[in-house]
Amino acid sequence: MPAARPGTESANNSVGDDTALAAELPGDFTSAYAEVNGTTLHYVAGGRGAPLVLLPGWPVTWWEFRKIMPILAQRYRVIAVDFRGMNLSAKPRSGYDKKTMARDVLELVRHLGYSTVNLAGHDIGAMVAFSYAVNFPDAATKLALMEVGHPDSSLYDLKLLPQGQAPNLWWFALNQLHGLPEHLLAGRMRYVVDHIFDSHLADRSRLDERDRQIFTRAYDPADAIRAGDGWFQAFEQDVSDFAEYGKVTVPMLGLASPANYAAVQSVWPRQGEDVRVVKIDDTGHFLPIEQPEAVAGALVDFFG
């Protein structure tokens, strides 16, 4: 068994399970499961009103939205989803292209009794949310993306050795490998979690030790690493799918950190018929963690 990073050995005992975590949040949140599209999805839901689906990124879970969920629950029925391969959801061997994952979410929406929903996604979750809106426009009311859009051919231009201020996206390459990441990282994902957050937060104090343990627990097992890598290994198919898509027809909001704002502002308005992009100040990549009030306010203003 690989040696764990000091301080993580008792994480499973100290952070509480997802049922207990959901119950901590104001808004009467509960943890539940649904059998959809041949897989099992875990989700946390609470609040009342029009349905709003939240889709998180890597290396986080539905808990990424814990600070904005109680705010949004005052106006919406908030449904934060661990999509295929994440946390307590099933980890099949295939189906990690974003079109299939969007179908998972659509079937969850139908399972919950809704015909149409608002969606907000961050990072990998934004990719899935975009795919949902472009493939199932009749089942989407409005779409919000945070920091990341759908994979396109620009991914092939990423540099192995970044120059100047270009970000070092080393995990994009590592996560393409089959088998090796699980052997290297099982039981050691705390190192990755700390590195990603420490290099992508403007203020590290916005994420406490308990949060880091919760995310580590979700990604530490070899099977979880394999499944998470599947989201990245599907990029080639995602790029191919994107080339066949038209524009998003539902209203679309983009939220971006200062470092990413100019880039997404130049791209996203061309990908939808009704798009606006808003800069969230004083934050790094993880907008809902660092600036929850600003993010929640922008979402409420957009979704209405």
pLDDT digits (tens, 9 = 90+) for 33-81: 999 999 999 999 999 999 999 999 999 999 999 999 999 999 999 999 9
Q: In the predicted model, is pLDDT for residue 14 greater than 80?
A: no
For residue 21, is it within any domain?
yes
Residue 5 placed within a domain:
no
* Backbone Cα Rg of the chain: 18
What tokens does 234 get?
Answer: 């599907």
**203 is a domain residue:** yes
* Within-domain flag for 1: no
Q: pLDDT, tens digit, for every residue of 188-221?
A: 999 999 999 999 999 999 999 999 999 999 999 9
Is residue 196 in a domain? Answer: yes
* DSSP bridge pairs for 53: 79, 119
Q: What is the pTM of this model?
A: 0.95
* Domain-embedded: residue 4: no
Residue with tokens 């390459």: 173
Please say whether the beta carbons of 140 and 55 come within 8 A: no
The mean pLDDT of 100-116, rounded to a whole number, is: 98
Confidence at residue 215, expressed as pLDDT on a 0 to 100 scale: 98
CATH number at residue 288: 3.40.50.1820
Q: Give the domain range for residue 166.
A: 11-303
* pLDDT tens track for 112-123: 999 999 999 999
Alpha-carbon gap, residue 67 to 290, rounded angstroms: 9
* Residue 105, pLDDT above cutoff 70: yes
Question: Would 101 be classed as within a structural domain?
Answer: yes
Whether residue 214 lies inside any domain: the answer is yes
> How many domains, in total, are found in the chain?
1
Preceding peptide of 167 cis, ω within 30°: no
Task: Give percent above pLDDT 70 in the chain.
Answer: 95
Name the region of 130 (left: φ>0; alpha: ψ -120 to 50; beta: rest). alpha
Cβ neighbours for 198, distance < 8 A, ≥ 6 positions apart: 204
Paired with 43 in beta bridges are 32, 81
Using the 8-state DSSP alphabet, how is residue 39 labeled? E
